[in-house]
């Protein structure tokens, strides 16, 4: 299927969207005063797009975990994103793009890149997702990293 055929296919069907959540991994953002969904699932005539909101090292009760430990925060962030993906039948192999926010990119980028590379190798990702790294003030002073992601997939399912 070429791009024109794909666009014609996805633009002729209904567009449905709904919030993504996985309470076993992390709570809803509104539980601590934020007004956003953990992610959105968009279904376009058989093509599914997951827009995973900025996700960080928080637990299922909304508490920051691994304070001061970038490697620990990275692992928990990846675990949280993995849980959100799994709740929608997706994996890291479906991720096409990440945007990575670091509190101090000069200090932390080397460790960040080591952890990301190791995680992607564990997942067996090839090709790697497109990605951008940005220095940013994050929503909590103890957070060192936050990652948002976009996944795309097409699955045949008898449940739908």
Average pLDDT along the chain, 160 residues, taken 10 residues at a time? 71 79 69 71 90 92 94 97 95 98 97 97 96 95 97 71
Confidence at residue 61, expressed as pLDDT on a 0 to 100 scale: 85
Confidence at residue 158, expressed as pLDDT on a 0 to 100 scale: 44
CATH 3.30.1330.40 fits 3-153, yes or no: yes
Angle at 95 between CA 63 and CA 4, to 5 degrees: 140
Cα end-to-end distance, the chain, whole Å: 23
Under 8 Å between Cβ of 145 and 108: yes
Confidence at residue 160, expressed as pLDDT on a 0 to 100 scale: 43
Any idea where the domains of the chain sit in the sequence? 3-153
pTM (two decimals): 0.85
């Amino acid at each position: 299927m070429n791009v024109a055929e794909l666009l014609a296919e996805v633009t002729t069907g209904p567009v449905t969207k709904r919030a993504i959540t996985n309470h076993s991994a992390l709570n809803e953002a509104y539980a601590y005063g934020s007004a956003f969904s953990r992610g959105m699932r968009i279904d376009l005539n058989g093509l599914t797009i997951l827009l995973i909101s900025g996700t960080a090292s928080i637990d299922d009760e909304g508490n920051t975990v691994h304070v001061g430990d970038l490697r620990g925060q990275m692992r928990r962030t990846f675990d949280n994103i993995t849980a959100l993906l799994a709740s929608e039948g997706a994996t890291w192999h479906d991720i096409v793009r990440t945007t990575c926010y670091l509190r101090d990119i000069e200090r932390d980028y080397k460790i960040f890149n080591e952890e990301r590379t190791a995680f992607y190798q564990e997942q067996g990702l090839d090709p790697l997702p497109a990605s951008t790294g940005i220095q940013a003030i994050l929503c909590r002073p103890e957070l060192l990293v936050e990652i948002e992601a976009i996944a795309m997939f097409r699955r045949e399912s008898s449940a739908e």
